[in-house]
Amino acid sequence: MNTTTAQIVLGTMDFGTRVGADRAFAVLDAFVAGGGVWLDTANCYSFWADPRGVGGASERVIGDWLRARPGRRDTVRIATKVRQNPLVPHAWPRSAEGLSARAVHAGVEQSLRRLGTDHVDLLWAHAEDRTVPLAETVGAFGDLVARGIALRVGAANHPAWRVERARALAREQGVEPWTALQLRHSLVQPRPLTPLAEAGHRLLTAEDLDLARSEGLAVWSYSSLMWGSYVRPDKPLPPTYDHPGTTRVLAALDEIAAEVSATRNQVVLAWLMRQGIDPIVGAGRVEQIEEALAARHVRLTDAHLARFAEAR
């Protein structure tokens, strides 16, 4: 796990549904103008907000943007995911595509068509699929890398032991292993042992970080800014975050934000990047992504990190 190259990733989940194409194009343009590189999407985004009941809207918007910006594909990197797209409209999770070799290859083929590109820079397994032998999934991902369709592969929402088992299987098969993890993580944490309300979310654990640091895996975090809850009174944190640790952390956040002349959001993003984690920021407005990119210039010290750790 490299702690010196962490960067802001633009999350595009709402593009084409809650965020129309014009606004999405403006955000994408601002992201690139500000030095951003990575775009994160998924083939299932956002079936729950799309009247059609299936995913693909986000990838289509990115594809349209790339076609409207000749040469831009050479300056951005695209990460997408397979596993969760409903095969039957409005029938998730019952009809979620899964991670069989057939489903992986079909999902990626459709993603490439929507994106208008011949490869993705990073392909994620969006969630586990224990109905399929892990060796089959590993082989399918490895085949895509061997064919140049995916340059790298990673696992989202997988426990550390399954990731390491998959990596061992990849070594046995002589194919490219998963080299990246994507999990939910932010400065505030829910009460221990309480379930998350959001279906499919998996929290980053100390074990995940241990694996990443031991094996040199990249770590991406989603819900990094808690859907705006750090800065918007109209978006309170979920009830499971209502505990004394959250109160202490938010007090420390306000103090440190004042000390480094940054916003709450910027300090949270800087805190993640300081640990080598690439935070995904879902932005629907230009000013949001500009604020997020400015977090790269926020300098947190070891003392700042220690204060946060003590507060938690």
Under the banding of pLDDT at 50, 70 and 90, the label for residue 168 is very high
Under the banding of pLDDT at 50, 70 and 90, the label for residue 199 is confident
The verdict on residue 149 lying in a domain is yes
Under the banding of pLDDT at 50, 70 and 90, the label for residue 29 is very high
Under the banding of pLDDT at 50, 70 and 90, the label for residue 170 is very high
pLDDT of residue 3 exceeding 50: no
End-to-end CA distance of the chain: 23
The verdict on residue 61 lying in a domain is yes
The verdict on residue 159 lying in a domain is yes
Over range 239-258, report the average pLDDT.
Answer: 97
Over range 270-285, report the average pLDDT.
Answer: 98
pLDDT of residue 171 exceeding 80: yes
Instruction: Quickly list DSSP for 35-68.
Output: T--EEE--TTTTTTTSTTSS--HHHHHHHHHHHH
- DSSP one-letter code for 179: -
Contact between 155 and 167 under an 8 Å Cβ cutoff? The reply is: no
Percentage of the chain exceeding pLDDT 90? 95
The verdict on residue 3 lying in a domain is no
Domain holding 263, by residue range, is: 9-311
pTM, two decimals, is 0.96
pLDDT of residue 140 exceeding 60: yes
How far CA 126 is from CA of 3, 107, 221, 308, in Å, comes to 24, 12, 13, 30
Over the chain, what is the mean pLDDT? Answer: 97
Under the banding of pLDDT at 50, 70 and 90, the label for residue 5 is confident
Per-residue pLDDT tens over the stretch 42-91: 999 999 999 999 999 999 999 999 999 999 999 999 999 999 999 999 99
The verdict on residue 2 lying in a domain is no
The verdict on residue 264 lying in a domain is yes
The verdict on residue 254 lying in a domain is yes
Cα separation, 186 vs 168, in Å, equals: 29
The number of distinct structural domains making up the chain is 1
The verdict on residue 297 lying in a domain is yes
Q: Peptide bond before 221: cis, by omega within 30 degrees of 0?
A: no
Per-residue pLDDT tens over the stretch 203-218: 999 999 999 999 999 9
74: CATH: 3.20.20.100
Using DSSP, state whether 123 is helix, strand or coil: strand
